[in-house]
Structure 1
Amino acid sequence: MAAPGFVQEMHSVGEKLLLKLQRLPQAEPVEIVAFSIILLFTATVLLLLLLACSYCCLHCCCPEQRGRKVQVRPLTPP
């Protein structure tokens, strides 16, 4: 299966990210800004995904409670 390869790839990406974070204080300002923008974009996507899933789950798991139906009768002329 492809699972061991995927785990190895994720481990490699994690190590690269950790190395990048360790070198960030000595980085150039442009590199810090670029890394911050990428981090902000990733956080925004994850937040929007969380909101979308919670909204969907709210409507699937908790259907809207409907009030009692009231029958409308025509007015009688005076």
Structure 2
Amino acid sequence: MSATDFVEEIRSVGERLLLKLQQLPQAEPVELVAFSIIALFTATVLVLLLIACSCCCAHCCCSERRDREIPVRPRKPR
């Protein structure tokens, strides 16, 4: 898939989503519930992704590094 095909596909999906959003006020209750579930799922995934990225970044970029090396000595056989 080339870059132009990908851009056209994204544009097509965006246009269909915009059309659905414009028709949402006149939609049936089943469509409203389905859209609400999909929107809630998408928001949950984005929030979890944000939390995961922030935890990872805070761990990697933290100024107080706790990388103390503890020497490990081999045990003597008994």
Q: What is the 5 A alignment of 1:31-50? A: 31-50=31-50
Unaligned residue ranges in structure 1 (runs of 5+): 67-78
Cα deviation, residue 63, structure 1: 4.9
Q: TM-score, normalised on structure 2? A: 0.78
Cα offset, 1:14, TM superposition: 0.3
Deviating 4+ runs (over 4 angstroms) = none
Larger C-alpha radius of gyration, 1 or 2? 1
Across the aligned residues of Structure 1 and Structure 2, the Cα RMSD in angstroms comes to: 1.5
What residue number does 2:60 align with? 60
Q: CA deviation digits over 1:6-42, x for unaligned, max 9?
A: 1111100000000000000111001001001000100
Match of 2:6 in 1: 6
User: How many correspondences in the alignment?
Assistant: 66
Give the corresponding residue for 2:76: none
Structure 2: tracts of 5 or more residues without a match: 67-78
Percent identity at matched positions?
76
Pairwise CA distance, 1:65: 4.9
Deviation readout 1:51-76 (Å, 9 max, x if unpaired): 0001000000115455xxxxxxxxxx
Q: What amino acid does structure 2 have at the position aligned with 1:26?
A: Q
Q: What is the rounded CA distance, in whole Å, between the counterparts of 1:65 and 1:8 in structure 2?
A: 46
Distance 1:5 1:63 in 2: 44
